[in-house]
Chain A
Amino acid sequence: MSKNYTSLISELREKLKECKSPHDIANIKAYYLGKSGVVTNEFSKLKDASLEERKELGKSLNILKSQTQELITLELDNIQQTKENNDFTDVTLPGKNISMGSRHPISITINQIISILSNHGFTSVSGIEIEDEFHNFEALNIPDTHPARDMHDTFYVSDDKLLRTHTSSVQIRSMLSNKAPLKIMTPGKVYRCDSDPTHSPMFHQIEGLHIDKNVNFCHLKGVLINFIKEFFGKDMEIRFRPSYFPFTEPSAELDIKFKGKWLEVLGCGMVHPNVLSNVKINTKQYSGFAFGLGVERLAMLKYDIVDLRMFYENDISFLSQFKGLK
C-alpha cells in the first residue's frame, strides 16, 4: 500500500476515536465509503492509471476499502456495546405510584369461606340485622323459657325488636320464602351482649343450610371436613363431638387440633324437625343439615391474631398487613 493510503487509515483511526454515537459513525462511513466518499474517489483514479499500474493500484485500493470497512464496523460495535451498558435498568429501584390498599381480614376470610362453600353448591343469602323474636328464637325451637337463651345475651332496640344473635334468622326467612330444596349460606354481622378479649358485642358469622331429600349426617361430615381442609390445609386434624343446639338434632361441634390443642371452630347438626315444621317443610319428605361458624375465630387462627379487638380498631398499620389478599 502506498504511503498515501497509510496516512488515510491513520486519519480514519483518529476520526473514529472521536465518535460518540452510531450516528457519528454513520457520518464517517458516508465520508469514506459514500458515493463521493474519500475511498470511492480513490477508486475513480484507477481509470487514469496505466495497465501495469492499475493491477498494483487495484490491489492496494481493495485492501484500503476492506480495512476502512473493518475499522468502521469495529468501532460501531464498540459504541453500541457502551450504549447498552449505559441503558442498563436497575430493576431494584422502587416502583412508581404504588397504591395498593387492602381488604379487611374479616372480608378476606368471608370471601374465602364463601368461595369454598360455593364450590359445594351453596348460594349466598343476606338478611336484616334488626330481627323479631320469632325469626331469631321461636322458629328456631328456642322458647322464651329455654336455658339456651342464656347462651344468647341479646341486645334489644324495642320490646319486640332485637339485634340478631345469629344469622340463623336468615335461614328461617329463606326457608319460609323459598321452601325445600334449599342450599344456602348466610354471611353477616351478629350481635351479643358480651365484651372481653375473646368476645365482641358485634361479630361475623356464616351459616350453611342444606335441605333436600335423603340428606344425612355423613353428608354434613363430608362438606365440613372438606371445608376445613380447604381452609386450613389438608393435614388439619379434625374431630366431631356431640353437643347441644335447640335447632339441630343430632347436634355436633367440630374441633380442630391447633398447635397441639383441640379448638372448637363450628357447631352443626341435622336440622331439628320442629324447625322444619315451623317453616312448613314436610319432615317426612325432607331432611337437612346446618352449620354455623364465627368468622373472627377462623381469621384469628389463620392469621395468628391474638386480640379480637384488633379487627375493629382499624389501625392502618394492622390492616395494611393483609395486602394482596382478596
Chain B
Amino acid sequence: MKISLNWLKEYVPNIKKNDIFVEELTSLGLEVSSIVKTKKDIMIDIDMTPNRADCLSIMGIARDISPIYKKKVSLPKYIKFIKSKESIFSNIDKKISSSYSVLVIKNIDNSVATPLFIQERLETCGLKKINLVVDVLNYVMLENGQPMHAFDNQKFTGKISVRYARKNEKLAALDGQNYNLTTDTPVISDDEKPQAIAGVIGSEGSSVSTKTKSIIIESAYFTPNIIRKSSKFFRLQTDASYRFERGVDPLLNKYSLGRVLAILKEHTSIGDYFLNHSSALKTAKHIGKSILIDFNLFESSLGIKISDSFIIQTLKYLGFNPEKKKTGLKVTVPSHRFDILIPEDLVEEVARVYGYNSFTPDLTSKSLDNIRNIENKTNDYSNLLVARGYNEVISFSFIPKGDQENHVSKSKIISIMNPISEDKAELRGSMVNSILNTCNYNFSRKNLNLKIFESGRTYIKHSDKKIIEENILAGAISGVNSESNLKNDQSKLSFFDLKGDLLSILPNLSFETHASISYLSKSCQAVIKQNNKIVGYCGEPNKALYSQYSIKNKIFYFELMIDKVVGIDSIKYKKISIFPKIKRDLTILVNDNILANDIIDAVERKSFNYMINIKISDIFYSKAEFGIGKKSITIEFIFQDKLSTLTDNQINDEMEKIISLLQSKHKAVVRT
C-alpha cells in the first residue's frame, strides 16, 4: 500500500528522521518495499501482510506506530447525525452486511474542482482523480480504511436492497465489463436491478458524475468471506474488495459518512441530507471479545522478561483495553483487529513493538537424544556417479501431455487439473522422459558427450485411485568417454560403460537379458537385479523415443528403484591365503546364443576346488575360422589353496572337470 509521509505526519508529528522511521515501520512488521520522493512529499510503499487489514489506511498505520512515538491518534473532524424519519432501505440482508449505512445528500454541486491537497495526496497514494464526491470518498478511505460508494440518486429507482442476485441478473460495471451474476453474488440493488456487486464494483449506469445533483453514499461492513468469494469468482480486485475481504472495522461506517460530509460541506454547496443505518445485534465475532493472558506467557514464548508496564502501555496504544487481573491481563480486542484471537497473538503485538532484533539469540535449545540421521543412500550413490564423470540434473516433475502415452498406461497417468502451461500438464510416470528431454536439450547446444543422472520421483495412479510416488535414480550416457587429450584414449561409450559405472557404485548388481520394457530397445535391454530381486532396468531407448525427442546420437539409459536397492552392509572377513594364486586361461568355441553369464553361471554353480575367481577375458568372432553363429570365448580362472601351494596336477584335474562340464552343458569345443 502506498502512503504519503506528509499525511501520516499530521497524525504523528514527532517523526523526525525519515530513514529511521522507515526502519521502524519494517521492524513493526510493516515492511517498506520502496520509497519515492515526489515534488512536495515522500511516497512510502508498504508490503502489507494479509492479516493486517487495520493498517490499510493512514490512521491505521499511525495507530500502529503510536507506541513507538508515544502519540495517540486523534480523529479528524466529522459531523454527527441525528436520527432521520426518512427511509431509503427496502431489505438489507444482515448476513451480507451486518452494519450498513447510507447517507443521502440532495442538491449537491459536484462540478466543483477537488481541493488541491486532496488531489495531491490521492496521486501520491496511487489513485486517479475523478470528481469531487468520488475523490472525497477515496480520500476518506485512504485516511481511515473505510471503502465507500456513491450512487446517483436520480438514476436509482426506489429503495436500496442488499441481497443475493437473482438468476440471469447482469451488471454493466464501472470498468466497462458486463458481469453475469449468480445466486451467490451479493449485490446492492434498487427496486429494479442490481446497481453494484456488493463491496467490489458499482454499475456504470448509477455512477456519479460532475453533473450529479443528488447522491446516495454507501458505507458498510461486508462479511469478509462473502466478498472474497465473489471477488475471486469474478477475478476482480478493487481497492474496496481488497479491504472488505480482509476486514474493515465494523464500527467505522457511520463515522466515515460524517467525515465525508464534513469535507464536502467545506468545499461545495449541499442541500438536505439524512442518514439511514441498519445493523445486526452482533456485527462481527470479534466485537467485544476479550482474551485472558498470563504474564508468564510472554516470557515462556519469547525467552526474555518484558515488564508488565511495557506490555500494558503497548496494548493501550494499539487500541486494546487491558485490565490487570490476578495473574495476568484481560484484554479487550478493538473493533479494527480481526486477527487477534488467542493469547499468542497478543504476545506478537508486544514482541514486534519491543523489536524482534532486541531478543538475544540463544543456542541452548536442547537436541534430542534419539537423533539418528538416516543414511542417505541416494546422496552416496550420487557422489559416486559424480566421481565416474556424471553431472547431476534436476528436471520438472511435469511433462507435456501425450509425452508418456507410449509407455505409461493412460489409467495410471496423473494429470494436473490447472496446469500452468501445456508442456507441464502431466506428472511423469517414468524418468525416461525427463532424462531424454535433458539429453535433447544438451545435444541441441552441442554438448554431445553426456553422462547425466537425476534422482527424482515418478508418480502413478492405481486403479483404486491410490497414488504411488517412487524414488528413482535414473541416468544416461552418450558420446565418447572423455575429451580428446594427448594421453587419453578416446572411445565411444557403450552399454558396457554404463554397466561398469553401475557396478562401480553397487558391486552386487547383476544384469539379465530382458525384453519386456516397452520404452527400451528389444535388442539392448537388461533387468538389473540384486539378490534376485528386480531393482532396475537399463539399455538403449526404443526407436519411438529416439524420434519423439529427435535424438540421433546413441544413448544408454538406466533407472534404479532406489528404495529397493540395498547397500552392502554385512561383510564377514575371510582369512587371506598366503599361498600363491595360479592363473589359467581356457579358450572355447560356443554357439553365439550362449551368453557370457551362462558360462560363468554354469561354473560358479558347481563350485570347483580351489577356484576363487572366474571371468571372461576375451570374445572373438571369425567367420573364416569358425563360421557364422559361433564365437570364441577366453575364460580366466584363478586358483588358490588355503593350506598349501597348488601343484600342476591338482589344477589340471579341476580344469578337466570344468571343460567336461562346459562340453556337456554348452557344447563347448576347446581351442588350442
Contacts and interface: CB of A to CB of B under 8 A. Distances in A.
B95 interface: no
A225 B361 CA distance: 8
Given A106-B394, A244-B51, A326-B383, A221 B361 contact: yes
A186 to B, nearest CB: 13
A202 to B, nearest CB: 5
Nearest to B416: A155
Given A218-B303, A250-B348, A123 B373 contact: yes
Contacts of A212: 365-366, 368
Interface string B621-632: 000000000000
B344 interface: yes
Given A100-B386, A120-B367, A130-B459, A287 B391 contact: no
Interface stretch (B1-9, B82-90, B395-403): B395-403
Nearest to A192: B420
Interface string B453-483: 0000101000001010100000000000110
A216 B367 contact: no
B113 interface: no
Contacts of A182: 368
B451 A101 contact: yes
B383 A244 contact: no
A215 interface: yes
A104 B393 contact: yes
A111 B379 contact: yes
Interface stretch (B127-135, B441-449, B599-607): B441-449
A94 B485 contact: yes
B302 A217 contact: yes
Contact of A218 (B348, B361, B420, B438): B361
Contacts of A217: 301-303, 351, 359
Interface in B335-394: 342, 344-345, 347-348, 351-352, 356-357, 359-368, 371-374, 376, 379, 382-383, 385-394
Contacts of B356: 221, 239-242, 252
Nearest to B23: A239
Interface size class of B (residues with CB under 8 A): 35 or more
B278 interface: no
B115 interface: no
Contacts of B467: 128, 130, 157, 161
Contacts of A232: none
A201 B424 contact: yes
A106 B382 CA distance: 13
A156 B420 CA distance: 11
A157 to B, nearest CB: 5
A153 to B, nearest CB: 9
A222 B362 contact: yes
Given A201-B420, A249-B347, A214 B389 contact: no
Nearest to B427: A157
Nearest to B453: A101
Interface stretch (B26-34, B172-180, B250-258): B26-34
B293 to A, nearest CB: 12
Contacts of A151: 50
Contacts of B415: 157
A243 B391 contact: no
A315 B447 contact: yes
Nearest to A311: B394
Interface string A79-108: 000000000000001101111111110110
A147 B469 CA distance: 31
> Among B357, B363, B395, B421, which residue has the most Cβ atoms of chain A within 10 A?
B363
Nearest to A325: B386
Interface in A217-274: 217-219, 221-223, 225-226, 239-244, 249-253, 270, 272-274
A287 B365 CA distance: 12
Contact of B352 (A218, A219, A222, A242): A242
A320 interface: yes
A306 interface: no
> Among A129, A225, A250, which residue has the most Cβ atoms of chain B within 10 A?
A250
A177 interface: no
A250 to B, nearest CB: 3
A216 B31 contact: no
A183 B31 contact: no
Given A93-B486, A103-B382, A217-B303, A319 B365 contact: no
Given A103-B382, A128-B469, A241-B26, A250 B361 contact: no
A304 interface: no
Interface string A296-326: 0000000000000001111111011000001
A145 B225 contact: yes
A53 interface: no
B149 interface: no
B373 A118 contact: yes
B579 to A, nearest CB: 35
Nearest to A274: B342
A37 interface: no
Contacts of B438: 314
Interface in B241-277: 245-246
B50 A150 contact: yes
B365 A103 contact: no
A148 interface: yes
Nearest to A272: B344
B395 A312 contact: yes
A314 B27 CA distance: 40
Contact of B418 (A155, A183, A273): A155
B300 interface: yes
B215 to A, nearest CB: 32
A34 interface: no
B14 interface: no
Contacts of B424: 201
B18 interface: no
A222 B49 contact: no
Nearest to A126: B471
A287 B297 CA distance: 11
B392 A193 contact: no
B636 to A, nearest CB: 24
A158 interface: yes
A198 to B, nearest CB: 14
B417 interface: yes
Contacts of B452: 314, 316
B250 to A, nearest CB: 17
Given A101-B451, A250-B352, A319 B344 contact: no
Given A155-B419, A158-B417, A242-B28, 15 more contacts: A99-B387, A99-B389, A107-B394, A124-B374, A130-B459, A145-B228, A150-B50, A183-B367, A183-B368, A218-B360, A218-B362, A221-B360, A250-B347, A272-B344, A273-B342
8 contacts: A147-B245, A201-B396, A212-B368, A242-B352, A250-B351, A273-B344, A314-B441, A314-B442
